A and B are shown apart, each in its own frame.
Chain A
Amino acid sequence: MGRTSVASPICSSIHILSSNCQLLLSRDWRGEVPSECLKRLIQDLANNLENSVSAPIVADSQSDLRLMFVPHNDLIIACVAASSADIGTVFTFLHRLVGIFCAYFESFMEESVRDNFVIIYELLDEVVDNGYPQLTEPAVLGEFIKIRAHRLEAPSLPSAATNTISWRKNGIFYKKNEVFLDVIERCSLLVDGNGKETHSQLTGTLTVRSQLSGLPVCQLSLNERATRKAFDSSPSGHGFLEDMTFHPCVDLATFRMKHLLCFTPPDGKFDLMTYRTLHPAKPLININATMSSTNSSRIEYAVSLSTLFKEQNIASNIQVEIPVSPDTTSPEIQCSCGTVVYDPEKDALLWTLRNIKGKREFKLQAKLCVPSTGIVTQSPGMTPVRVTFEIPYNTASGLQVKYLKVVEKDGYSALPWVRYITRSNGYEFRFRK
């Protein structure tokens, strides 16, 4: 954090590489990276990947340059920059770049780089100039850099490219004006071998899909509990949202004063707000997994899953992944509900349940044979039992939308739709001791 030089350009050049470090495409802006240095950096990167060293920064041994990269599908998106470039800005930018490419090409992979190299060059030209990030809104870029192979008219510059409201173009029109708001919460939980919660966290996103004409202003009000902490700067404040971040379209001053989110939405889908709480009230699902071996070649697993959320709610698409020793044979499985399959690829039992109500309990028992010749290199049971699920119509945090209003000078009426869903995001339980 303590850098002395300020505001250096974030990159000298950007390179797109295949997963085996073959250079697919490069764009150099500043001419600061000698080709032998780039070769060295890519060689070092390849060595790192081979030795499964995953650090996202590779420093050059003979100069001040560094290569920073983000893997995506079968690609590596890398940039080379002087060591004075701020890595926070670099990585934020690289992820944004991946986002832009993903918005352009349905799947951004080696194949699509070859198929679209002309457009990628064009995009890079708009997104960075001389190492400084420029326009990074995919929606606006899409206005004047189009994928069409044959473009007859010369494209003209959309005014949004340099507008103060750079995220929305003029003259959008919909026959039916609608705005969809999804409140999505993701819970993570880690329970240790003594049944104690070691870590639990909840993050939430308000995702908006707007299909509104003109330049509307939306007003969104959340329940009191949600907004309290945002104004209470004392650390002991008991509000439950620990941290909130907003899309640049949100007027922060109004939010401070009136506890109201006012914004002119970009067209289409975007994340309006994200938030985080450190201590969600209770775990939603609990799992008690034990493992015992009767003799050296036989292991018994007993797993019980209990739903701790309200009885009227329903969790769906539940999958429990129970790791087992590699090379197990002849599994004997019994469970009170759902289906279980043994997946030798993952070395795990996959227990799937479609829909389950709150305050219920389900059990699974499995007996497996392991080759007794097996050398115990690793004490088993280190991988935790993982569960994925989602609970619709519910927020684990208790956040609720009071109202969502759309105001536009043409005075059309718009329909607001609000949905809630809670999903798991790393629910892990270690085997009980």
Chain B
Amino acid sequence: MSSHDSRYFSSHKKGEIAEWRQDLKRNDRDLLKTTVKRIIAAMTVGKDVCSLFPDVINCMQTEDIELKKLIYLYSINYARSNPDLAILAVNTFVKDSQDPNPLIRALAVRTMGCIRVDRIVEYLCDPLHLALRDSDPYVRKTAAICVAKLYSINRELVIDRGFLQQLNGLLLDDNPMVMANSIAALVEIQKGSCAQIIDSSLLSRVFTSLEACTEWGKVTILDCLAAYESTSATEAEHILESILPKLQHANYAVVLACIRVILSKLHQVQHLRESLLQRIVPPLITMLNAEPEIQYVALTSISEIMDAFVFPFLHSYKAFFCKYNDPSYVKHEKLNILVKITNENNVGDILLELKEYSGEVDIEFARKAIRSIGICALSVPEYSQGCVSALMCIIDTKVNYAVQEALVVLKDIFRCYPDRYESVISRLCQSLVSLDEPEAKKSFIWILGEYADRIENVIDLLRTFIDGVDDEPVVVQLQLLTSTVKLFLKRPSEESKSLVQQMLMFATHESEHPDLRDRAYVYWRLLSHGGDKVASVVTSHMPAPQCNPSS
């Protein structure tokens, strides 16, 4: 069933505004409604229908609630650009705020609060006082929010006219929605502090509210509890006991807010820490079956909690394996978590998964998976052999981007575990495809320089790079310079000497990059000094790279 409002969007011809103005003046209820709908449709698609303001406002006094809602909607949008004319609407608002139908009373108060025109605000105060005391909870809950609106326009007025006290009174309202909105309004007025809502003496009342409140109100209350500094460990324990059942709420926002409370009180209840952390894991893992956006929220939350505590999640690591059809932002988050959760017990399973991901169609993701293998190798030294074999398998596939990424990763592994995996270098050199990424080139050239004495055709390999040196980015040129000098020191020969000279000439005469030139001069001077000292400076071991899973 649909109401076919789309017809209101059509038939935009010239002079329609004048035509609408005429139609608004006629005393035909159906025509009036159609015209206002057309005007709202025009407003929706971004046309300026501001000039009709006085005419539309004139029709405000109507019994038809649908029409009234539309005109109110219109006035919210255009009152600010017509502050003088907006005053015309005040009478109707004030009258409507005393209508026998609570829907209309609430509508009037709600709309007046949305019209952020200073001059109207004065007229809002009296109706708002009445609305806050209204017999119908629907009006009261609307009025509670309206106090916050008023406060953002004119705070002195709210304080002078005693609205804050009235709002505080509503905290005791027996209606859940009124209560929830009063809390939200008070928190907003106090700029996110909840000092007046929660203190030790009020706690039991807060717990009653938490039970009675709407689901969205629960989120607000729980957030207040999370920000509340409990005075003692017993009190913290008491709070936690009262909120724990909310972990099983069907609304994810409530569950997440509940988890925030638990985390905020954790430092006060050291003896319960482990069991509490165990309690928050199942609901978070459950969220991994929800809509992808919710999964994303759960994953980022888990990731953040893991920075402090990994252990509660350790036995659930399989929950973070990627599904084939997960959206890529979910996959990336899962990968971040897999890297954090890797330890010597699960590294085997995780590595198999990472290897699988390295062949995914999503190239960014595949690259990240390959980088993750490297991080595993650095963080679990016992399993670095497994990681190196996995990387070699990837290199054997000869898929261009995968090989280049694996190369960068292998370089770090070589640096971290010197003299352990150099046996793979010859296999590496055989599988190389054309390198076109600076980072990969740099890594490969580094490997060539570092292991110049073990790679047979190193001179030929380096020469191909040197021949095209002037097209390379500076990072590659710098590495090429260093590696050529290393080559000369490790395999002094006529050939390597001529390569060094070629490189030094290029860097000092052709290049305009100061870093490159300076570095070349340093090497030149060192080399012209000669002796063993040079080798100890140039070929000394670099410090092992730091393993930083989050990067």
Query: Which A residues are CB-close (under 8 A) to B282?
Result: 242-243, 276
Kindly state whether residue A129 has any CB partner on chain B within 8 Å. yes
Closest CB of chain A to B390's CB: distance in Å?
13
Measured CA separation A164–B251 after assembly (Å): 17
Measured CA separation A406–B263 after assembly (Å): 40
Contact A246 to B248, CB < 8 A, known contacts A29-B114, A155-B103, A233-B279: yes
Measured CA separation A25–B6 after assembly (Å): 13
Cβ A203 vs Cβ B289 within 8 A: yes
Measured CA separation A281–B177 after assembly (Å): 44
Cβ B250 vs Cβ A248 within 8 A: yes
Cβ A5 vs Cβ B324 within 8 A: no
Encoded as 1 (CB less than 8 Å from any A CB) or 0, chain B from 285 to 308 comes to 110010111101100110011000
Kindly state whether residue A235 has any CB partner on chain B within 8 Å. yes
Query: Which B residues are CB-close (under 8 A) to A54?
Result: 327-329
Chain B residue at minimum C-beta to C-beta distance from A430: B356
Contact A132 to B216, CB < 8 A, known contacts A88-B297, A157-B136: yes
Kindly state whether residue B37 has any CB partner on chain A within 8 Å. yes
Cβ B297 vs Cβ A95 within 8 A: no
Encoded as 1 (CB less than 8 Å from any B CB) or 0, chain A from 33 to 73 comes to 00000000000000000001111100000000000101000
Measured CA separation A135–B180 after assembly (Å): 11
Encoded as 1 (CB less than 8 Å from any A CB) or 0, chain B from 176 to 188 comes to 1110010110011
Query: Which B residues are CB-close (under 8 A) to A134?
Result: 141, 177, 181, 216
Kindly state whether residue B207 has any CB partner on chain A within 8 Å. no
A-B contacts counted at CB < 8 A amount to 274
Cβ B138 vs Cβ A114 within 8 A: no
Contact A199 to B328, CB < 8 A, known contacts A6-B223, A245-B249: no
Of B62-70, B440-448, B451-459, B527-535, the one contacting chain A is B62-70
Query: Which B residues are CB-close (under 8 A) to A23?
Result: 46
Closest CB of chain B to A385's CB: distance in Å?
10
Kindly state whether residue B54 has any CB partner on chain A within 8 Å. no
Contact A116 to B291, CB < 8 A, known contacts A190-B323, A276-B282: no
Query: Which A residues are CB-close (under 8 A) to B103?
Result: 144, 154-157
CB contacts under 8 Å to B, within A217-262, are 233-235, 242-248, 252-253, 256
Kindly state whether residue A198 has any CB partner on chain B within 8 Å. yes
Closest CB of chain B to A271's CB: distance in Å?
7
Kindly state whether residue B83 has any CB partner on chain A within 8 Å. no
Closest CB of chain B to A226's CB: distance in Å?
14
Measured CA separation A278–B472 after assembly (Å): 52
Contact A88 to B253, CB < 8 A, known contacts A6-B192, A154-B101: yes
Query: Which B residues are CB-close (under 8 A) to A252?
Result: 245, 248
Cβ B176 vs Cβ A164 within 8 A: yes
Measured CA separation A251–B75 after assembly (Å): 44
Query: Which B residues are CB-close (under 8 A) to A248?
Result: 215, 249-251
Of B159-167, B313-321, B378-386, B421-429, the one contacting chain A is B313-321
Query: Which B residues are CB-close (under 8 A) to A411?
Result: none
Cβ B5 vs Cβ A118 within 8 A: yes
Partner of B3, one of A115, A132, A162, A276: A115
Kindly state whether residue A388 has any CB partner on chain B within 8 Å. no
Kindly state whether residue A297 has any CB partner on chain B within 8 Å. no
Contact A149 to B353, CB < 8 A, known contacts A1-B301, A88-B256, A379-B399: no
Cβ B245 vs Cβ A56 within 8 A: no
Measured CA separation A155–B63 after assembly (Å): 11
Kindly state whether residue A214 has any CB partner on chain B within 8 Å. no
Kindly state whether residue B368 has any CB partner on chain A within 8 Å. no
Of B18-26, B142-150, B541-549, the one contacting chain A is B142-150
Partner of A379, one of B215, B275, B397: B397
Given contacts A55-B329, A130-B145, 11 further A-B pairs with CB under 8 A are: A24-B44, A89-B257, A105-B1, A118-B66, A233-B278, A246-B250, A248-B250, A276-B285, A378-B359, A379-B397, A428-B323
Sorted nearest first, the 10 A-B pairs with minimum C-beta distance are A243-B282, A5-B192, A88-B256, A114-B6, A89-B253, A162-B137, A133-B216, A92-B253, A6-B223, A91-B293
Can you show 15 pairs from A to B with CB atoms below 8 A apart? A6-B224, A7-B194, A54-B327, A55-B329, A86-B223, A87-B300, A88-B294, A115-B3, A117-B8, A134-B216, A157-B102, A157-B103, A244-B248, A276-B282, A278-B316
